[in-house]
Structure 1
């Protein structure tokens, strides 16, 4: 559409005004006019329409001030005009949440992935969504849409999961499956891409322009924000840190813990740590249990976990050297042992990097994926609302 087209200009003005109000708490019509260099009649016409549609609300009485003039009526964004569903499908758990338009979580639930993976996974997602909507007393007319994160390589345009080892999916038509259950817009991406979007929007990296999120769980993956934009790569597989080789000698005889997993995650992921220690002690152990034994100085646990941390530290050092990020955020199940990991890992990172970089723990915790899925929806959906770094 040509930029001189009146319809285009009207839409652009709506978008500018609603997002200015959204970002600036409460503002007057006069302030909007001045800050956006729009005429007062243009601002008034758009504001009246936004008020009528319920996107914004009026606050303040507009009564006379002490100087005799009328107080301006302020405007504020209405985050409850509509809601967005975020779904984070992990190898272990599926997390589902509903947020308002500001990304505030108003409902959250999760269920074990593997129990439903072979059948009824999407029916179970639907069930949780319906239960949350019922609890909140909202129907589909109030839902803008859904964002979904998957632990694997996703072709975002086609809506196909090219490969997701934790789910045993290859060329899986996830968009088609979801569209058969839900009749609103749905956007899909790699789970760590949505997590980095969440951290950049609402998390610990919200003031940073260059940010890397690394999830250490069933596998190891990462999402990259470069100059405020999500970087996906030419095959939608940028950030596959799990494939990084961090020990040349060991790599010559390594084999993946699971088919399709790379070297680093076969040494340092949560599933790898649990699997290695289970073999050594001849009983089934999780990564969480392995870290408990590590704290008790169990010899085998110490050996396995310190090797995992050393390789992870080298991988992160390589990332810092390549991308010079302002911050690296650690998430995923293994990050729960952040205080143990960072003390061992920081000297390795410092030794092998040219510049300092903060390596911190996610503050969004188990909700990171859901918040990120909502951020993905707002970034991709052609609506009036924008988030930082969109485009």
Structure 2
């Protein structure tokens, strides 16, 4: 697949209009002109250009004004222009999504496996992409891009993996490896950065949030990761390691060992004999719903540790929103409420002045937030203002 299928929008104003239409869904030209502070004639030219490229289409008619008159045309992104495949690659599983250009999620799947050699992981990546392509081939809609979210440090310019503890990769060009095999433009991004991009690009109906912290916790990939959006742009730092905060959040194994000594054995419902190392957040959450005191104590302890790390970062970046993604989002309101309570206490204690506590919420696409966010790498690159 060649580059001719890319969006190919060179004018800043064209990119911005397209991004607004994508974010708001069905929107009138008058509303766009007001938001862009643009003359209607100039906007009509841009809309015609985007329509000629089949990037947008008329979706219907809006309501006429109180004074009457013609009903305005409503515009939307053409969902049939192309699809984007996003994958979050972990040692124990691959999560894959397919989204269309309008941002609708068409497919999502998780493939779990036992951690293995690096060669096996790469083979699984290729197999997953092949299976996804095979499943969506019936639609005849072209695939615009493949994006891979991985734990570790990724060069934001070349997309080369500098180092990934979770995947045991160092100085590896996964981008070219995939691109050459499928002949589809490909990108690679850090998993937490992918989640942050997703928060920016997949909040339909909302204006862009200026400053976002995206937090994820993956015990098999080295712990806590951070994605930062500052002034509506992903911040990766000088060397691509801005999200690598090297937190001191204990591993799940450490927290389980600590809490299990405080609870009578006969009250522990979650099986420990199979190996504590294999216990995941999803296991803890499922057993906490069954009334297991150990599971709830571990999740509460983890939440307080995460809140402690977030409180340090909050003073540095002063975000509007903190989003919990990845495996943290499995826990519905349990972790979120615990983190919010602990964060409020820490901020009130450490800051002598009153500051507004950032909104803390779960990623809307839950465990698929990094895979979904990875697809936003295409949008971020194509629509960079």
Normalised to the residue count of structure 2, the TM-score between the two structures is 0.74
Q: Deviations over 1:175-206 (max 9, x none)?
A: 12112222222222100001011122225996
Query: Is 2:187 the counterpart of 1:183?
Result: no
Cα 1:206–1:361 shift into 2, 3 Å? farther
What is the aligned partner in structure 2 of residue 132 from structure 1?
135
Match of 1:332 among 323, 326, 346: 326
Structure-2 separation of matches of 1:27 and 1:277: 53
Partners of 2:29 and 2:298 in 1: CA distance: 62
Matches within 5 A, 1:286-301: 286-287=279-280, 288-290=282-284, 295-298=291-294
Q: 1:103 touches 1:374 (CA, 8 Å); kept in 2?
A: no
With 321-330 and 344-353 compared, the bigger mean Cα shift is at 344-353
- Counterparts of 1:109-258 in structure 2, within 5 Å, are 109-112=109-112, 114=115, 117-119=118-120, 120-135=123-138, 137-138=139-140, 142-203=142-203, 208-218=209-219, 219-241=223-245, 243-244=246-247
Name the stretch that deviates more: 90-99 or 229-238: 90-99
Written as runs of structure 1 = structure 2, the 5 A alignment for 1:338-377 is: 339-342=333-336, 344-353=338-347, 354=351, 355=355, 356-377=357-378
Query: Structure 1, unaligned stretches of length 5 or more?
Result: 1-7, 62-66, 245-262
- CA 183–282 in structure 1, closer or farther in 2 if over 3 Å, else same: same
Distance 1:126 1:44, change over 3 A: same
**Helix, strand or coil at the partner of 1:166:** coil
Tell me the secondary structure at the aligned position of residue 167 of structure 1.
coil
For 2:91, the equivalent position in structure 1 comes to 91
Whole-angstrom distance in 2 between the partners of 1:217 and 1:334: 8
What residue is the counterpart of 2:3 in the other structure? none
The alpha-carbon deviation at position 36 of structure 1 amounts to 6.0
Within 1, Cα distance between the matches of 2:338 and 2:367?
Answer: 24
Shift of 1:19: 4.6
After TM superposition, the structure 1 = structure 2 runs for residues 48-67 of structure 1, keeping only pairs within 5 Å, are 48=48, 50-58=50-58
Superposed counterparts of 1:4-23, under 5 Å: 11=11, 14-15=14-15, 18-19=18-19, 21-22=21-22
Q: Distance in 2 between matches of 1:76 and 1:327?
A: 27
Per-residue displacement from partner, 1:10-66 (whole Å, max 9, x unpaired)? 8556545545554565566788778664574x66665555444422334569xxxxx
- Using the TM superposition, give the Cα deviation of residue 87 of structure 1 relative to its aligned residue in structure 2, in angstroms: 1.6
Go from structure 1 to structure 2 and tell me whether the alpha carbon gap of 1:314 and 1:206 turns closer, same or farther (over 3 Å shift): farther
Q: 1:49 to 1:313 in 2, by over 3 A?
A: closer
Asked if structure 1 preserves the Cα contact closer than 8 Å seen for 2:256 and 2:298, the reply is: no
Larger Rg: 1
- Normalized against structure 1, the TM-score is what? 0.73
- 22 and 159 in structure 1: CA distance in 2 versus 1, 3 angstrom threshold: closer
Asked whether the 8 Å contact 1:199–1:206 carries over to 2, the reply is no
Question: Where do residues 249-328 of structure 1 align in structure 2 (5 Å cutoff)?
Answer: 263-264=248-249, 267-268=250-251, 270=252, 273=255, 283-285=274-276, 286-287=279-280, 288-290=282-284, 295-298=291-294, 307-328=301-322
Cα shift readout 1:274-316 (whole Å, capped 9, x = no counterpart): 6888999554130344556665234xx6776665444323212
1:124-179 CA-partner distances (Å, limit 9, x unpaired) = 133223223224x225xx22212221111111223321111111112222112112
Partner Cα distance (1:10, 1:199) in 2: 25
Whether the 8 Å contact between 2:212 and 2:321 is mirrored in structure 1 is: yes
Deviations 1:187-246 (A, max 9, x none): 2210000101112222599653221111112321010112222111122111223x13xx
Distance 1:340 1:224 in 2: 24
Quote the RMSD (CA, aligned, Å). 4.0
Q: How does 1:36-47 map to 2 (within 5 A)?
A: 37=38, 40=41, 47=47
